Every structure is written in C-alpha cells, then in structure tokens.
Structure 1
C-alpha cells in the first residue's frame, strides 16, 4: 500500500518553508559531489576521533567547528530568495575562510595555551572574525533571532558600566571579550559545542542510518497495523508513528511533514476537521523530542550540564512522555467518539504478517536502550547502534545497505548536524558572556524578585521566556539560554536541579506548537490546508499534558522518578494516566456522552488532581472522575433509550 500523498520535492519545499535548517542549496554538477565528499569526510572524522583516537577538546572542537562552518557557508545561501543551485566566488571564499579559521587552534595549540590572557594581534583578529562567522552561520541556519540575542549579550559584556540597576557590571574590553569567546573552553568552544561534537553528532548519524534502512516507513506501517482499525484510526496512527519518528529525527517540522504527508489526508478522509487533523500531527511530532530513549539534542546537553548519565535523563523523561502521548491519544479517541468516526478498513491497511516479519528493524533501538542501561557511554552506544543498524538491515534485500547507502547516510547525518553545530556555537557565545559578567546569577535573582519569591510566578515567568525564545531559536539554543538564566532561579528556590532543567527543556519544545509562532503547527496546516492559527490553538489543547507536567514535576519530583520506589512510580503512572482521561474529556467535551460545561470543568479538575502526585490529591481526583464518569454513562444510556423509543 502506498502511503505517499505528496512528492518528495513537495515535502522538501514544505520542510524548508518552516524549518530554516532544511533550506539548503541543491547543487548540480561538480559542487554537488564536492559538498557530498566534505559531508562524508566530516562523518568519517567524527567516527575516527571517537573510536580510535580522542583528541584534546582544544583541537577536537575546533575541527568539528571548522567542518560545520565551512559546510554551512557552502550549503546555506546568504538569503533563501537567492538561486539555490549555484554559489559565487565570494561564497566559496567565505566557506574556505570559515573552514580555515577554527583550525588556527590546531596550528598553534601550544602557543595559544601558553599565552592565555595575553593574546597577539593576529590571535585577536582571527578570533574576532571567527565570532562574526559563527553569528552569520547561526543566522543562515537557525535564524536571525538567535544571532541578535548573542550579539546583544556581547554588547552587554562591553557596555556593563552603563547598564541600569542590577544589570550593571564593570565591563570588559574588546580584547578580553574576543579572547574569552574564542580562545577558552567557556565560549564558542564550550560545553554546548563539546556535546555537539560527541553525543549529538553520533545520535543524529544513528537516526540517518535508521532512515536509510527504511525504519521511518516501517514506523508508519507498524502504526497502521497497531492502531489503524481502532476508532479514529488515522489519528492514532499519527500519534503512534510520530512518537517513534522522534527516534530518528530531532526536528518537529521534519516529523510533521514525514508522518503527516500520509496521516493528515487519511484523517481528513475519515471525517476529522482539517484543523484537528493538522493539530494531531503537529502535537504528536513535537512530542517526539521528549520521547526516550533518544530525545532531542538538548537532552544530551542536559546530561552534560548536570553531570548525570544520559540514561538518567531519559529515565526521568519517561513518565511525562507517556502522559504526553496518552493525552493526545485520549483526545483523538474522544473526538472520534464524539463525531462517530470509524477506523480504517482492512483493505486500507498493510499486510499484518508482512509488517510483523520486519519487526527486526526495531532491534537497533533496543540495542541503544540496553547499552545505555548497561553503563556504556552515549558515544559508544550510538556507534554500536549504527553498527547494529547495518547488520539488521542486511537480513532482507530491501533493507540491505550498500556502500553507496552507507556513504549517503554519512552525508545525511552530517548535513542534519550542521544546524546543531551553528546553534551550539552561537549559544556558546551567550554562555561565555554569562560566565564573564555573572549575568546568569543577576537575572536569576531578578526573576525571583520580580516573582516576589513566589515559586508559581517564577515558574510562570520562566515558561513565558522559554516560549518567547522558542519562537526564534531551536530547542537546543532555547534550552541553553533558559537553563543558564532561568534554571538557577528555580534551583535557588529549592527545586531539584533535574526538575528545573527539565522544566525549561519542555517549554522550549512546546514552543513549536504554541501560537503566535508555531512552526510545527503551521507546517501541519500547510499539509492539511487548514487555518494556521487555529491549527496552532488546537495543537496547544492536544498538548495540554506538556503544559501541565512541568509544573507538577517541579512540585512533585516523583513524576520524574526522583527519590521514589517502583510501587510509588507505578501508582503515579496509573493515577496520572487516569487523570489525563479526565483532562482529555474536559477539553473535548465528550466521555460516554456529550458533557455540559459544568461536567467538562469537573472532569478536567478531577484529572488535574489525579495527575498531581500525592495521596490526598489522588483520592479527590479519582473520586471526582468516578462521579463524572458514572453520570456520563447514565446520560449515555438515557440518550440511547430515548433514541430507541423514538
């Protein structure tokens, strides 16, 4: 059965429209092969440096940055309105300079280490140009907002004495700013780029290999078999497949277009409204970034910032992720019940036996989970996962990878990683500014003062900041900024560090579906031919769990499996899932029968109480839900009797 409802070219155009990282030049002729070879070489370097010889960070990170910047200036035009098939002499020269400048670290490594804080004129000229190139690369790949934010932080570093109130500081001269930003491991070459050059790149490469073996299509087929014939089947297929697609894509927009190109038309044919169909896909695809075992790139940064094993981060995210997708699943089910929608017919589904024969394609994901649980480093887990993908793909002719397939996966992984390189390098400028000026602590204290020391208000202001930043920056950069500035405020107020960082991480992600700028929802609207803003509003409703969970796990860290037993965790999961049923019923306005406004409020209130960990809230919430549920059953039976007698 064909699941493609739009051409690959149309999909690429839609992704590029809403995902700036995908708006690359499509070369023809020699430049196509030159960039392909450079992308492959980038991946080869990353693998060799990980497996065979670990270089010092002052050498490894600049080489990673050199490949990233050079390829960005080759692949991303000055403006998306320009001819994307050609590059001029100036563009090639800029790409060469961008590649060569970071290698100055490799050329004069010992000299730079010796004269730290006493840099030569040549050092400062090279460092200054490198900073400008990083800002421009970020503008081209990630967007103008992050480049503006980083530039403002640099200006703040210089104009400190002229800042008002608590923002005032002694200021720094240009030499110190350049030296700190480019010639230390606290600026551009800091922890964010370090994580990009290790964990993130390799897991992106793992996703590229999964995609090459056809796992992306298999996720769709498996979702159809599991959920296709259920009530409102296509919507549940979207939820299930998008959760799995998050394993191989760190982009909400790319997830939307990949899965939505076939789920959205199916939902519309079944009877879902265009806005609701687009919202289901947008909410589900965005949730892929919070779905363990492989989450968004920011999760790897969180592991490094908190000095915790990545598996601890993934484990903590498990229950909130289950709640998220449970909430979306429940609401699609209730909407289908309200509209009287059926599932798909048997002939509309792929052959069940054939799909189950290919279940082995999921083995690499289980390999990743097992290695992470066994204490293997994330880098080696990713490499083992990549190797297992090649081995598993060899089982059948249609999934077997040739040498050319492997090289294409190398190039695809490197190309996808460019956005992370640009975002982390630019965010490193912001982190460097924070360490140089102490603005992180100043803003954290300012945030607490503005909230009057009230935790809820501090959380609310942090959420708003994360959502606003998410309008113009990718999740990775958003998390770096908010975790540097806002998370310390929450930690000062007694919130566990993991809960504080997870709070900012969550809201950085849901910014993709939160109006007025909801790129994932707008991409889904493009597929559904629906109104973008209404699709965004519907997406926000469906993703209500992502807005609830962060507040709850800050107050009750048991939701993140912090300091809790297995039985306590099991009880939290059961009551939380039951609570999401109530919340979903309240939002959709249907349970066993149509709910009136009071019933909707009571169902939502009972659901929220059940989700909040704690014996008192659980009992109150479950009692309220039971009452609403029983009355809804009673009303439903009465309506059937009236219909039957008529």
Structure 2
C-alpha cells in the first residue's frame, strides 16, 4: 500500500503537468472573477459556432473564411497569453505579465490584431483590383500584421517559429549581399507585402485554408469526445484488456494512447490525459520512473500517426499532394500501425529485462463490462470512418456529421443515466448542454495555437515561393555532395531540430516547403522516382518525433511532472523507444510498397503488413539488445540484417546476387533469420536453466 501511495503523483505534480498542457494549448491567462471571465469562452465558443456554420448553411468565399479564421485565432492568443509568462520584479513590466485579469493593452492589441487579420476581407474588392500595386495603406497594415502575427506565435508557441520566419524575411531582402552559393536577387517591400499579406500565397495560403475548413472540425470532434468521457473509457478499456499481461500497464498505456490519439491529434494533451492513470500503474509494477514516463511520451507522440485524424498536418498533406484524405490514411496505415504495435512489443521486452509482471486480474475492471459500458463512444468514430472510407465524403462534411451525431449522443447519454438513477431529466438536459458548450470553448482554445502556427508558417512558405526554392535545393545538394541518402539524413535532422521548438503542424509546413521539393528533385537526379506522398510523409514523421526530442520536447516535460522523473532523461529514453519509427521513413522512401503504393491485392497488402511487423520486432530486439533473452553481438547483427531484408528486399537481393528473385522469396529469408535467432535464444535459455 505504501509503495502504491509513493507511485501516485501529488496534486502539485498533476497541476504542473496540466499547466504544461494549458500553456501549450489553452494559454497562461486564467481570469476567474467578474464579467471578464466570460470573454475568452464566448469568443472561443463563437469561433466554434462560426466553423460549424460555414460547414453547413453559410457560404463564404475562401479568402474571407481564412481571414475570419485567423482573426479569431490571433484575438484569442493575445487575450490568452500575456506579453511575459512569468511575473516581473519591475512594476511597469509586471503590468504586462498579469495572468489573472485583462489589461487595457491586451484589449487594444487583440482588437488591432483582429482588424488587421480581417483587412483582406474588409477591403477584398479593392485589394483584388490592385494586385501587384499595393497602396501605402496596404503596405503599412501588412507590415504591422506580420509583426503582430509573429508576436502572437511567440506568445503561444515560443520563439522558434518567429525566429525562423524573421531569418527568412531578412534573407528575402538581404539576398544580394549573401555569398555566391546563397546569393538571391532580393525583393522589394511592395512585392514582399503583396505576396505575404495580400494574396493566398503567404499568410492566407493553403495551410490556413485547411485549418479553417477541416482541421478545426476534427479538433472540435476530439474535444467533444473528451468532454463526453471517451478518454477515460479508452484508458479503462485498455487496462481491462492488457493490464494482466507482463508489463501490462505499459501495454495498456500504448493501447490507450493509440485510441485517444486517434481523435486528439495532440501529443501533449494525450500524455496528460492517459499518463495520469498509466504512469503511476507502470511504476507500481516495477518500471523506473523515467522509463514509465518515456513509454507514455513515445506512445502519445506516435498517437498523431494514428488514423483517422493523424494530427492537423495530415489534412494539409492531402491538400499539398492533391489527394483525397482517405488516400493519405491508406498510405500512412502500415507505417503507423506497425510502429504502434512495435512500441507495445518494446514494452514487453523492457518488462522481460526487468522481470516484471502484470496487474492481478482481480484488480482490473472486467473487460466485457467495461467494453459495453462505453460502447456508445465508438458510434461517432465508426460513423466518421464510414463517412470517410465508405461514402468518400469530404473530411469537412464527415467531421460535421460526426459532430452532430456526437452531440445527439451526449444528450441521449445524459438522459439515459438520469432515467436509470431516477434523477431529473431537466437537469440531465442542462448538463448535456453544458458539456456541449464547454466542448465548443475547448475546440476554440485548442485551435488558436494551430491557427497562428499555420499562418506564421505561411510567411516562410511565401518567402520560399518568391524564388528561394531553387537556392535551397542547390545548398542541400552542395552540403550532401549529391548523395541522396545524406540528403534524407540532412532533412531528418533539420526536421528534428526545428521540431524542438515548433508544433508538428508548423514544422511540417515549413519542412514541406523547404525540403520535400528537394527530396523529389535530387531523387530524380539520382535516378530515384519518389511519389509525392512519400516525401511529405517522410517530413511528417520526423516532425512528430520532435515532440519528445530533448531538450525542448514538451510531451517529455509533461510526463516527467507526473512520474517525478528528470525530463531530459525521460526525453532521451522516449527517443530511444522511437528510433523504430525513425527508420520507417528511410525505408518507405525506397520501398513505396510500405505505403501501399502500387499494391492492389488485399492479400499482398496483408503480406506487406505482416512482414513489416516482423521487421519492426527484429529491429526492436536490436535496439533493446534483447529478444528472447539478452542478445549476443552476432544475434544483434542478424536481427538488423533481417529487418533490412524485410523492409528493403530489393536492396538485399542485389547484395546477395538475387536481384531477379521475387521479393516475397527474399523476405522469407528475413523471416527465417528472425525465427533462427528466436529459436537459438530459447535453446540458450533452456541450456542455461539446466
């Protein structure tokens, strides 16, 4: 009992973890008294209602929708985040760090930023007529909008994105003075402002459009599911199913985070939602604190890979690649699911190394009772998947209809519970209405960071389209010496470094504009034809991995607060668990069958899935230095070679002189090697025991 109490996080630990989530997603200001406490909730709920309206009965021109979307986002950021996050000793500076009330400056900045974001909508007809020849007023307003947008990004996301954007802005003007390789003809102020703030090639570009028309609805859907109680249901279901097995709490954490990640699209929120339950239980069965936190970080981070939501960036991938969203899901399915199952296998290996057991079945909730108690939470998810996959409706329409179904379900759920307990139906209806209202508020607050992030990333995209794309390709080609594998490594490292300070969505947008075209261009120069979706998923995967990359990974800090562990050590351990995810992009760039590209047979698709899963098990055994027992050096080599054989059969076939052999035959050799290592280690353990 004493040990269990020691493993439980204190209220202060939970508050610290929740504060990390609130600051990352909902802002640091918390006004609890007076009429001012309703300002942010009213604006956030109004934003959600507006987004639902344009998805159903209001028709607006695309640019107007983008402008209004940004206006809501930037207004909420200036109200939710003070100028300084921490109190200042200086009385004057401390005025700008108030977190318990709004100041006059907050209202002025929020109002000014809102009007500037709406300027393209207010003078839409005039701006359309003078494209390329902006007025002085256009330039002044555009310049101030860029400054305010970067400040909003700094407040809500930290300094990384504004710094990168400022570097690109300066480069666009100072290009003529750069060294020969980096030299750029430069742009005029008129052209820069026209491109960035008065067209749909900069701030109001494709990413902001996707955020306004699709991403918001899925974030709102996830918020409604969470408010309805689906998050706790997924955790209970995972524990009832997996808790009794070896290292069961860790396996349950992986399953719970995968289920929650399907709808949340946020690694930090996922970490706190499931980690509050999973981390103490992992510690109670013997996991060291930093490993318990690292497991939660790894599975919560990978939650953004799980269909049907896959984080906000997945919708932008569909737009950039001009694909239906269901095609993005299809391409990402095998890497995402295989990576997740492999993480569960890693928790099994860790439990085996530590000699851990599961939770006694008597201490776990009964599976079938738990399953049926919340089965109604699966209805909106199934409804959403059917809308997307079977009827092939647009993501926006599918999400809108799923939200309506979920809203009806919330009322039915509350009325049924009240009837069962002989309580007031009227109170149940009021409670359901309150749940929906708080969901609308949560949806708006969760989206403000994404809205500002995609608009700020649009500045970088706009600068690149001014003519920097070719220079970036040339610079990377020089750095890599034309070696395509080195090009991929440079891209991966750049994504990880940028991702330390950027949210996944912004990281993806920046890297997709800078490096995805480079991968395609230089791949073609090396005789490698790469599908567009493969290049974009490569960038997407490494952007997600950055969420647990030390020293900035916020998911690691949130998990370490719950586990009472060192955040840097937690982040490093979490990243070692995620190495298996890091090798997959390098594999599917060269073996696009892993993305089901060109795979039309269901049976062959299943074969690809099974072989990729065995490869991930082998690679996990290599990285953990443990398969059935601790590896000998040659066993690790065999596991690594077998993983490569299963993921890159053509490459290995060429090495061993079987380039003309069918791929399945070469892959069978890899499976045989895995089985050989497994059987040899079992025999070794038996001999040792004898």
Under TM normalisation by the shorter chain, which class is it? over 0.9
The change in CA–CA distance for 1:11 and 1:99 in structure 2 (over 3 A counts) is farther
Q: Report Cα offsets for 1:557-608 as digits up to 9, x if no partner.
A: 0000101132222111111111222222223333333323332332233233
- Could you say which residue in structure 2 is the equivalent of 1:70? 75
**Distance in structure 2 (CA, Å) of the matches to 1:279 and 1:103:** 43
Aligned residue for 2:518? 489
2:675 pairs with 1:626: yes
Alpha-carbon spacing, 1:12–1:429, altered in 2? closer, same or farther (3 Å): farther
Deviations 1:186-218 (A, max 9, x none): 111111111111111111011111111100111
Alpha-carbon distance, 1:13 to partner: 3.2
* C-alpha distance in 2 between matches for 1:184 and 1:11: 45
Q: 1:471 aligns with which of 496, 500, 504?
A: 500
Q: 2:31 aligns with which of 24, 27, 44?
A: 27
My pick for the range that moved more, 138-147 or 76-85, is: 76-85
Deviation at 1:331, TM superposition (A): 1.1
Q: Name the CA shift for 1:593/1:158 in 2 (closer, same or farther; >3 Å).
A: closer
SS of 1:376 mapped into structure 2: coil
The alignment partner of 2:55 has SS state of helix
SS at match of 2:262: coil
Residue matched to 2:397: 380
Once the two structures are TM-superposed, the CA of residue 395 in structure 1 deviates from its matched residue by 4.0
| 1:55-97 deviation per Cα after TM superposition (whole angstroms, max 9, x unaligned) | 1122111111111111111111111113311121111111111
Note the alpha carbon deviations across 1:466-525, whole angstroms, 9 max, x for none. Answer: 011101111111111111111111111122111000000000110112334333223222
What residue is the counterpart of 1:517 in the other structure? 552
Larger displacement relative to structure 2 (105-114 or 310-319): 105-114
**Map of 1:612 onto structure 2:** 648
> 8 Å contact 1:323–1:545 — kept in the other structure?
no
Q: Which residue of 1 aligns with 2:409?
A: 392
Q: Which of 326, 332, 340 is the equivalent residue of 2:355?
A: 340
Larger CA deviation: 117-126 vs 405-414:
117-126
What SS is found at the alignment partner of 2:501?
Answer: coil
Alpha carbons of structure 1 residues 368 and 485: separation in structure 2 relative to 1, 3 Å:
same
For residues 43 and 481 of structure 2, what CA distance do their matches in structure 1 show? 53
- Is contact 1:16-1:23 (8 Å) kept? no
Q: Is 1:262 matched with 2:277? A: yes
Q: What does residue 448 of structure 2 align with?
A: 418
- 343-352 vs 142-151, greater mean Cα deviation: 343-352
The equivalent of 2:158 in structure 1 is 143
Q: Which residue of 2 aligns with 1:362?
A: 378
> Match of 1:294, SS?
coil
| Matched-pair contact (CA < 8 Å) for 2:275–2:562 | yes
Which of 586, 590, 600 is the aligned partner of 1:551? 586
Q: Is contact 1:239-1:281 (8 Å) kept?
A: yes
1:580–1:611 contact (8 Å) kept in structure 2: no
More deviation in 49-58 or 279-288?
49-58
CA distance in 1 between partners of 2:509 and 2:200 (Å): 16
Alpha-carbon distance in 1 for matches of 2:583, 2:625:
19
TM-superposition CA deviations, 1:334-355 (whole Å, max 9, x none): 2212222111112321233431
* 1: CA distance, partners of 2:205 / 2:10: 41
Q: Which residue is equivalent to 1:14?
A: 17
Counterpart in 2 of 1:250? Answer: 265
Query: How far 1:105 sits from its partner (Å)?
Result: 2.4
**What is aligned with 2:340?**
325
1:102 aligns with 2:102: no
The equivalent residue for 2:537 is: 502
- The question of whether the paired residues in 2 share the 8 Å contact of 1:15 and 1:253 is answered with no
Residue deviations 1:379-400, cap 9 Å, x none? 1111111112123334433597
Aligned residue number for residue 84 of structure 2? 79
Contact 1:441 1:488 in 2 (8 A): no
For 2:671 and 2:29, how far apart are their aligned partners in 1? 55
SS at match of 1:51: coil
- Determine whether 1:640 maps to 2:645: no
1:224 maps to which residue?
A: 239
The answer as to whether partners of 1:167 and 1:439 remain within 8 angstroms in 2 is no
Corresponding residue for residue 58 of structure 1: 63
Residue aligned with 1:396, SS: helix
TM-score, length basis structure 1: 0.95
The Cα of 1:5 is off from its aligned counterpart by: 5.2
What is the CA–CA distance in structure 2 between the aligned matches of 1:597 and 1:546, rounded to whole Å? 23
Across the two proteins, how many residue pairs are aligned to each other?
639
User: TM-score, normalized by length of structure 2?
Assistant: 0.89
Alignment partners' CA distance in 2, 1:577 and 1:63? 45
Alignment partner for residue 456 of structure 1, among 477, 480, 485?
485
Who is 2:607 aligned against? 571
Instruction: Give the conservation status (yes or no) of the 8 Å contact 2:263–2:308.
Output: no
Residue 615 (structure 1) shift: 3.5
More deviation, 502-511/518-527: 518-527
The answer on 1:560 being equivalent to 2:575 is no
| Structure 1: gaps of 5 or more residues | 642-646
Given candidates 434, 444, 455, the residue that maps to 2:464 is 434
- In the alignment, is the contact (CA less than 8 A) between 2:261 and 2:306 conserved in 1? yes
1:208 to 223, 237, 254: 223
d(CA) in 1 for partners of 2:413, 2:198: 50
Gaps of 5+ in 2: 87-96, 419-427, 524-528, 650-662
Q: Matched residues in 2 for 1:23 and 1:629: separation?
A: 50
SS at match of 1:248: helix
Shift of 1:6: 5.1
**Comparing 330-339 and 515-524, the one that deviates more:** 515-524
Find the aligned partners of 1:368 and 1:379 in 2 and give their Cα distance.
11
TM-aligned CA deviation for residue 12 of structure 1: 5.1
What does residue range 295-306 of structure 1 map to in structure 2 within 5 Å? 295-306=310-321
In 2, Cα distance between equivalents of 1:69 and 1:192: 16
CA distance in 2, matches of 1:375, 1:223: 30
